Amino acid sequence: MRRLMNKLVSRSLSVAGKWQQQQLRRLNIHEYQGADLMNKYGINVPKGVAVSSIDEVKEAVKSAFPKENELVVKSQILAGGRGLGTFQNGFKGGVHIVKADQVEDIAGKMLGQILVTKQTGPQGKVVSKVYLCEKLSLVNEMYFAITLDRKTAGPLIIACSKGGTSIEDLAVKYPDMIIKVPVDVFKGITDEDAAMVVDGLAPKVADRNDSIEQVKKLYKLFCERDCTLLEINPLAETSSNQLVAADAKLNFDDNAAFRQKEIFALRDPSQEDPREVAAAKADLNYIGLDGEIGCMVNGAGLAMATMDIIKLHGGTPANFLDVGGNASEGQVVEAFKILTSDDKVKTILVNIFGGIMKCDVIASGIVNAAKQVALKVPVVVRLEGTNVDQGKRILKESGMTLIIAEDLDDAAEKAVKAASK
């Protein structure tokens, strides 16, 4: 995703000694979905149609844009940098402005293809839809975002009179042009707040009062839809003196899924890590990393400590996986399926400190997982706590070849050694 400038709102955490972007609680939706949502709130957006086949492209050009000479063709993936990306079929650029009679050809080179950008990683993401938009005559480009700010404990509006390019770069080159307007979450946005934002945007041709109303509508959307991020880059002025959200990104708090069913129905699992999708279905907390030692731990704190000690002994964790305190035997089996689906994993380390979580449940899960999954890598097990003796007995009587560890340090050392063989 296009990240907000590091100095203002980015937060990160150290995972096993390696800095990584913090995994936020968020649902990410496609550009065309965000545009449709903003349109419902009265926010100015370009006219556009999302299509998923060549037949739909033909129909859209004919029915939605009969008088347009040029259209913008945008690949739809949940990652930034599309314009400078390259498809695995060799076609360059995920965003193109083309003549109306070329739309079909360009869309055909995108649909069903893998687009690689600086944010997707080398594996890229599949383009299942393209977004056909009217070409606007832009006279000015600005940056606008609303996010949640820990310091002010509420929404923070960020605006810059320059936009259309990386906000991180703008923050370095023009730090004085970026303004921040905290909004009192109890009072809501005031006319004065919105006016401060508009003054920071410094529109050249758009009506000031209309611009203030657009800012207030954007804030209303942010709050009513439980957004964690609403980012528009660029927020543009057109030759018709309108303020338009030319490109937008919206994220939503996963904790609000129960009251935002319409929004969360928009989730596109094809754009997510399949392991994380499987983990979410099994109610497991999983984050894929790049190492070689798969981890299954109960409790986030113990999971973090386990990854740190793996790193201390010279290894690298392949994931963060917290099975929680009430995991069932079935969840343990699913956890093993997820771990073994990662080709990079050379060893699995199970580290359980049984409190609410019982060691015998974990042990039974390991045994059943071995029956369902071909375990081709060594498994290091450290059990301690509730029903630990029963758990160890279940493992011993299973006949499985396991590496038993006495404590966490011993487990990490044995896991790193096994992974290096």
Q: Is 298 known as a binding-site position? A: yes
Beta strands in 239-378 (DSSP E): 243-245, 248-252, 285-288, 293-297, 319-322, 347-354
- Residue 305 belongs to what H/E stretch? helix 300-312
Q: Is 371 known as a binding-site position? A: no
Q: Is 338 known as a binding-site position? A: no
51 close to 60: Cβ distance less than 8 angstroms: yes
Choose, from 31, 32, 131, 231, the residue flagged as catalytic: 231
Q: Is 105 known as a binding-site position? A: no
Distance CA 55, CA 221 (A): 34
Distance CA 348, CA 377 (A): 7
Catalytic status, residue 219: no
- Residue 100 belongs to what H/E stretch? none
Q: Is 356 known as a binding-site position? A: yes
Q: Which residues lie across from 132 on neighbouring strands?
A: 49, 73
* In 132-179, alpha helices (H): 167-173
Q: Is 233 known as a binding-site position? A: yes
Q: Which tokens go with 225?
A: 């839809």
Which amino acid appears at position 26 of this protein? R
The three-state secondary structure class of 266 is coil
74: CB partners within 8 A, 6+ apart: 31, 82, 94, 95, 130, 131, 132, 133
Q: Is 82 known as a binding-site position? A: yes
Choose, from 32, 131, 143, 286, the residue flagged as catalytic: 143
Q: Is 141 known as a binding-site position? A: yes
Backbone dihedral angles phi then psi of residue 55, each to the nearest 5 degrees: -60, -40
Catalytic status, residue 143: yes
Give, as one character, the DSSP assignment of residue 237: E
Q: Which residues are annotated as a binding site?
A: 74, 81-83, 141, 233, 247, 298, 355-357
Q: Which residues are annotated as a binding site for ATP?
A: 74, 81-83, 141
Q: Which residues are annotated as a binding site for substrate?
A: 298, 355-357
Show which residues are catalytic: 143, 231
